[in-house]
């Protein structure tokens, strides 16, 4: 079972992240380390949810940020590949978060359909078909379990990339490390 490891001081950063852009990421966001005017170049890819309640504290030019529903990077491999291959990134922080709408997406079918009908002008049958076609691809289930599984997938795809799963707590805007079982 993965363990959640809070970062309240520098010594809390997991040893395999020390000396990397992942440690700097945690220091900037959680510990309030002063931000330089610019990082100069991005060494980090951050994959995170499109949720409006999340905001990262990082310097300019520090990271390539890919926002996708649920922090789900399936189908976004080209984005990651570009950040690594052309941008030079060597680490990836995968963020899922508490209270994520993608965790129990199937339960939101009615609201999804009504919203598309009322606000986007869709007919009900098309909205329902759209939801039914996509729900399996976007539903993540438990955020921590998904982060660990998606980090594993990304490690297999990019074996030299340092990939770290994190949980973003929307309640207090803090990042929590997910320590995986080996």
Q: Please give the pLDDT value at position 1.
A: 84
Residues 134 and 153 in one domain: no
Q: Domain holding 40: CATH number?
A: 3.40.1050.10
Which among 149, 154, 158, 159 has a CA at the least distance from the CA of 181? Answer: 149
The tens digit of pLDDT for each residue in 66-94 reads 999 999 999 999 999 999 999 999 999 99
What pLDDT is stored for residue 182 in this prediction?
Answer: 59
Answer for the pair 84, 44: CB distance below 8 angstroms, yes or no: no
- Sign, CA dihedral 63-66-67-71, equals negative
Whether 120 and 172 map to the same domain: the answer is: no
Mean of pLDDT values over 150-157: 97
The vertex-155 CA angle with 12 and 74, nearest 5°, equals 110
Are 54 and 125 in a shared domain?
no
**pTM value?**
0.94
The b/e string for 104-141 (b: 16+ C-beta within 10 A; e otherwise) is ebeeeeeebbeebbeeeebeeeebbeebeeeeeebbbe
Shared-domain flag, residues 93 and 10: yes
Q: Partners of 65 in the beta sheet?
A: 46
Domain housing 52: 3-101+142-179
Kindly state whether residues 91 and 132 are assigned to the same domain.
Answer: no
Residue 32 and residue 115 share a domain: no
User: What confidence tens digit (pLDDT) does each residue in 92-108 have?
Assistant: 999 999 999 999 999 99
Residues 29 and 55 in one domain: yes
Give phi and psi for 144, each to the nearest 5: -70, -45
Q: Exposed, middle or buried, 90 (CB in 10 Å: 0-12/13-18/19+)?
A: middle
pLDDT average, residue stretch 35-41: 87
> Do 77 and 135 fall within a single domain?
no
Helices (H), 53-173: 77-85, 109-120, 124-138, 143-157
Dihedral (Cα; 56, 44, 162, 93), 10-degree rounding? 20
Residues 116 and 172 in one domain: no
Which tens digits make up the pLDDT trace of 105-148? Answer: 999 999 999 999 999 999 999 999 999 999 999 999 999 999 99
CA–CA separation, 74 and 27 (whole Å): 28
State how many domains the chain has: 2
Residue 64 pLDDT level (bands cut at 50, 70, 90): very high
Residues 96 and 159 in one domain: yes
Residues 97 and 113 in one domain: no
Q: What are 155-169's pLDDT values in tens digits?
A: 999 999 999 999 999
Residue 181 has pLDDT above 80, yes or no: no
Q: Please, what is the average pLDDT of the chain?
A: 96
Residues 134 and 146 in one domain: no
């Amino acid at each position: 079972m993965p363990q959640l490891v809070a970062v309240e001081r520098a010594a809390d950063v997991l040893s395999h992240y020390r000396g990397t852009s992942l440690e700097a990421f945690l220091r900037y966001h959680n510990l309030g380390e002063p931000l330089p005017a610019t990082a100069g170049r991005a060494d980090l890819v951050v994959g995170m949810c499109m949720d409006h309640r999340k905001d990262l504290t990082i310097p300019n030019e520090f990271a390539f940020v890919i926002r996708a529903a649920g922090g789900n990077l399936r189908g976004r491999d080209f984005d990651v590949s570009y950040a690594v291959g052309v941008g030079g990134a060597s680490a990836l922080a995968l963020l899922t978060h508490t209270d994520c709408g993608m965790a129990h997406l199937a339960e939101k079918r009615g609201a999804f359909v009504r919203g598309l009908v009322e606000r986007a002008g869709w007919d009900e049958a098309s909205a329902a078909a759209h939801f039914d076609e996509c729900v399996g691809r976007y539903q993540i289930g438990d955020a921590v379990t998904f982060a660990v599984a998606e980090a594993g997938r990304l490690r297999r795809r990019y074996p030299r990339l340092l990939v770290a799963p994190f949980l973003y707590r929307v309640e207090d805007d803090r990042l929590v490390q997910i320590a995986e079982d080996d």
